[in-house]
Chains A and B, each alone.
Chain A
């Protein structure tokens, strides 16, 4: 009863090994680019540190030879640059990975934390905790608040934008508009009640920037980001099956309800991690998974970890650009990603519309 009817069995097509080769090459290229990006970002800036010195100091700290730099360089590298690079890595990989997961869960390539309002939702929690001066979880307060309100928003969007087991593009985008507007109003309300110092803090944070990076901030988001990034790849194969639709996925043994709950939690964790320290940085979660899908197909086993890697690369490079392009001033990172991301989003909308022959 096992054998499918077999009239002339053919060898499996030669596509598989070629694809594996491409996946490997792409992963290697992304990793290499990320490493170079990190080293450059650690060295370049208002106070230049030559690449050799960066490597030497890194070696010194991990006890593999090398030597410490002079006091200023050592301090700039370890107290300013490296926390910033680390934060860019965490935030970028969280955003990229969250984007890939959301697109998989919603079965819709336009889903992204920024576009459909999850980031703004998380931002409400973060702004509230700043404006109300909450400190109940110490260093982690902003992250926890961002997580709670982000989670509530994902659930809300998920419930509101689905009908009959599907999420249509129009419904999703319109829901995003509504959620963004409401979150914007709440944020405005909190700013209204905040004092001047808090307003300054909120405004800078809202623009999306890594300029306030410190090791405690890295620690504040590390658990959230690490947990999300670790859990996500284990659900990649199920996300592939979910692309068939909910019922067919269930026919293939996926516990769809459980998968959804787990992934919604993971998305909330990742978005909260990103938003809590860096404000709203939009479009990274949209752009990165799309480019990777074009380069290497839609299989989530590569896409989910690959998007984390790609997101990290985009953010490290973006942050480097944000603080060197307009030197000595610093562009807000969120402004920069939106500047490049919005036209891409527009193109994507046009393409989706063309393919579907209208929105219906």
Chain B
């Protein structure tokens, strides 16, 4: 890195250290959030561990995205505390938080028509001025390959379809190489193949020691890929545990107000969740 650049780089940032799998990457302790006077989250306790894929599920308006935003330190909490990498989220600077958590927002927008590769490279911004800046090219290329966007690297972001944009946004979040990855409905705009691809990526990241939190609507995906599922209901945690244990017909039927059947996949044994339909 040239000395002129080093001079201009942000100073005094604490870099994150790798932590062993199973240790706490982030936690919410008694978190309450009110938006527009309405309580959206109510005394939520949640621990996110390194090396684990955690699925946040629940009906519309249950507070999934709000909880994710609180974990990302986007929202001020009204009660309780969010801790990231062992320290209250409010006590990290924006630059230090960016080295610790990456976020994939629900919808990806861009004010100017940057080419795809530039958008993915934006994910490397937090590392500017650190020794790991040298990895930029490799990490960006790997993130684009993993999300299958390499083919349109030079096209402007604004010319892409919704699903392609979502994958580019994911590539950007991956390129950030943060030990805590927060994904808000990463599969919403994707076809079958790419839904599976995204969750395989989540598993790989977890296997590499990162903590992954993913908001999902598809309970089958959650059951197949998550180590742990947290079902939110009316701003509270209804249940927290391995999908095979917590996804029961009774609980899901009550939370979603829609009777469901849960049965094991004939080959893999992974629970399948299907709405009860006539005929």
Residues of A within 8 A of B (CB): 1-13, 15-16, 104, 107-109, 234, 237, 240-245, 247-248, 250-256, 293, 297-299
9 A–B contacts, CB within 8 A, in A order: A3-B177, A4-B177, A243-B111, A244-B122, A245-B109, A245-B111, A251-B101, A256-B94, A297-B115
A262 to B: closest C-beta gap in Å: 14
When distances are taken between beta carbons in the complex, the residues of chain A under 8 Å from B94 are 250, 253-256
When distances are taken between beta carbons in the complex, the residues of chain B under 8 Å from A234 are 8
**What interface size band does chain B fall in?**
35 or more
When distances are taken between beta carbons in the complex, the residues of chain A under 8 Å from B208 are 1, 3, 5
B158 to A: closest C-beta gap in Å: 8
Bound complex: CA A305 to CA B100 (Å): 32
Interface pair A15/B153, CB less than 8 Å apart: yes
Interface pair B145/A7, CB less than 8 Å apart: yes
Interface pair A241/B122, CB less than 8 Å apart: yes
A33 to B: closest C-beta gap in Å: 25
- Nearest residue, chain A, Cβ from B201: A5
Query: Contact check: which of B109, B154, B179, B204 meets A15 at CB < 8 Å?
Result: B154
Q: With an 8 A cutoff between CB atoms, is B125 at the interface?
A: yes
Bound complex: CA A248 to CA B74 (Å): 10
Bound complex: CA A113 to CA B8 (Å): 29
A265 to B: closest C-beta gap in Å: 19
Bound complex: CA A250 to CA B73 (Å): 10
Interface pair A4/B99, CB less than 8 Å apart: no
Query: Contact check: which of B113, B139, B150, B209 meets A298 at CB < 8 Å?
Result: B113
Q: Supply 20 further A-B pairs (C-beta < 8 A) apart from A297-B114, A297-B115.
A: A1-B208, A2-B135, A3-B139, A4-B142, A4-B177, A5-B205, A5-B208, A15-B154, A234-B8, A237-B128, A251-B74, A251-B97, A253-B10, A253-B94, A253-B96, A253-B125, A254-B125, A255-B94, A297-B113, A298-B114
> Among the interface residues A107, A250, A298, which one has the most CB atoms of the partner chain B within 10 A?
A298
When distances are taken between beta carbons in the complex, the residues of chain A under 8 Å from B97 are 251, 253
- Nearest residue, chain B, Cβ from A303: B112
A211 to B: closest C-beta gap in Å: 37
Interface pair A12/B126, CB less than 8 Å apart: no
Q: With an 8 A cutoff between CB atoms, is B2 at the interface?
A: no
- Nearest residue, chain A, Cβ from B98: A253
B55 to A: closest C-beta gap in Å: 18
When distances are taken between beta carbons in the complex, the residues of chain A under 8 Å from B113 are 297-298
B243 to A: closest C-beta gap in Å: 22
When distances are taken between beta carbons in the complex, the residues of chain B under 8 Å from A253 are 10, 94-99, 125-126
Interface pair B74/A299, CB less than 8 Å apart: no
Contact mask for chain B residues 26-45; partner A; CB cutoff 8 A; 1 contact, 0 none: 00000000000000000000
Bound complex: CA A256 to CA B94 (Å): 9
Q: With an 8 A cutoff between CB atoms, is B268 at the interface?
A: no
B167 to A: closest C-beta gap in Å: 13
Q: Which of B103-133 contact A (CB under 8 A)?
A: 103, 105, 108-115, 117-119, 122-123, 125-126, 128, 132
When distances are taken between beta carbons in the complex, the residues of chain A under 8 Å from B210 are 1
Known contacts: A5-B201, A253-B125. The answer to whether A107 contacts B179 by CB under 8 A is no
When distances are taken between beta carbons in the complex, the residues of chain B under 8 Å from A108 are 111
Known contacts: A252-B176, A299-B114. The answer to whether A10 contacts B150 by CB under 8 A is yes
When distances are taken between beta carbons in the complex, the residues of chain A under 8 Å from B174 are 4-5
- Nearest residue, chain B, Cβ from A298: B112
Q: With an 8 A cutoff between CB atoms, is B223 at the interface?
A: no
- Nearest residue, chain A, Cβ from B74: A247
Interface pair A4/B143, CB less than 8 Å apart: yes
Query: Contact check: which of B101, B103, B146 meets A248 at CB < 8 Å?
Result: B103
Interface pair B74/A250, CB less than 8 Å apart: yes
When distances are taken between beta carbons in the complex, the residues of chain A under 8 Å from B139 are 2-4
Q: Which of B213-229 contact A (CB under 8 A)?
A: none
